[in-house]
Amino acid sequence: KRIAERIAQIEGPVAVKGLDIKPYRDDWEGDKPEPAPEKDLTNKKVILVDDVLYTGRSIRAALDACIDRGRPAEISLAVLVDRGHRELPIRPDYIGKNIPTSRQERVRVHVQERDGEDAVLIE
């Protein structure tokens, strides 16, 4: 929501909607849901926002979820942290910070609204 507020200062109001990607993950054990009609994305400009970009599998699932809800005019990707180690050809359009990591490390992003602080932690 904070990112949407910043965009709204430049572009005008923008809608913020959550997107459940769990059923679209390649490790999900269930059927794909039907597209939700109240979230029709046909001809919309969509910006997917993720905290940490790692293998790209979550973003692939988000793309599938978007396409099931219509044909967006455009889909962009914004990430707070890009840690590398991609398994799929996914590249963000907007990156807060590139942080090289090993596969053994874990990156956690804390945001004020949920965690009481803005921080990036490497464990």
Query: Could you tell me the CATH number of the domain that includes residue 40?
Result: 3.40.50.2020
Nearest one of 107, 102, 105, 103 to 79, comparing CA atoms: 107
Number of folded domains that form the chain: 1
- Across the range 59-84, mean pLDDT stands at 95
Query: Is the pLDDT score of 35 beyond 70?
Result: no
Domain encompassing residue 67? 2-122
- Across the range 85-107, mean pLDDT stands at 97
Query: Is the pLDDT score of 38 beyond 80?
Result: no
> pLDDT category, 83, cuts 50, 70, 90?
very high
Beta-carbon contacts of residue 75 (< 8 Å; ≥ 6 apart): 46, 47, 48, 63, 66
Distance, in Å, from the CA atom of 41 to the CA atom of 47, rounded to the nearest integer, reads 11
- CB-based burial, 62-84: b 16+ in 10 Å, e otherwise: bbebbebbbebeebebbbbbbbe
